[in-house]
A and B are shown apart, each in its own frame.
Chain A
């Protein structure tokens, strides 16, 4: 199984500052046949279901502010949140769907200082 490792697991951030979450996979998530990297980012706000932020490495889901961006390549990925706001509090997960079983990172809990 592909192991997804997120760091840090806890991320205190002041409002207005930027935050970065790293995700590493145990093997490359890049597929040559379609030139896409099969990693997504999700956020689960307190008491809510997860929802999609970023798909295939760097594409923002519908309605997601441009403060959120995904980057990386191969097996190393980053979610960056610019100008963090109080509403960004929650747990952020990376997920790979390059091969079965799909696997998630452990989650990174973002809190406001």
Chain B
């Protein structure tokens, strides 16, 4: 069964760095476009970044220059490298698959990984 599993979240001080991983099961990450979406505690959904199957990347303005989305074909895993973390980055981070054949909806979501940025 197709599945996404995020890991790597935790507690980090402002200015610190953290890397999230999203391991895929039963489908090939590099053959799909993938995205990260976050949800601050008690808040709505916020799109963060996307990595297209062809390699292009786009970011929300709030994370541009600080976050980097990437993938490792050999590990079938998507990543989100987060640098210079701020309190406002505290959120549950979901990875999701973008179904480009259906014109781009997010058709598979992971369970999320919690990042807490606090001193």
Contacts and interface: CB of A to CB of B under 8 A. Distances in A.
B103 A104 contact: no
B44 interface: yes
B27 interface: no
B47 A49 contact: no
Contacts of B60: 101
Among A51, A59, A102, the one with the most B-chain Cβ atoms within 10 Å of its Cβ is A102
Contacts of A38: 103-104
A107 B58 CA distance: 24
A49 B102 contact: no
Contacts of A52: 105-107
Interface in B8-33: none
Interface string B75-119: 000000000000000000010000100111111011110000000
Interface of A: 34, 36, 38, 40, 42, 44, 49-52, 55-56, 59, 61, 91, 93, 95, 97, 100-107
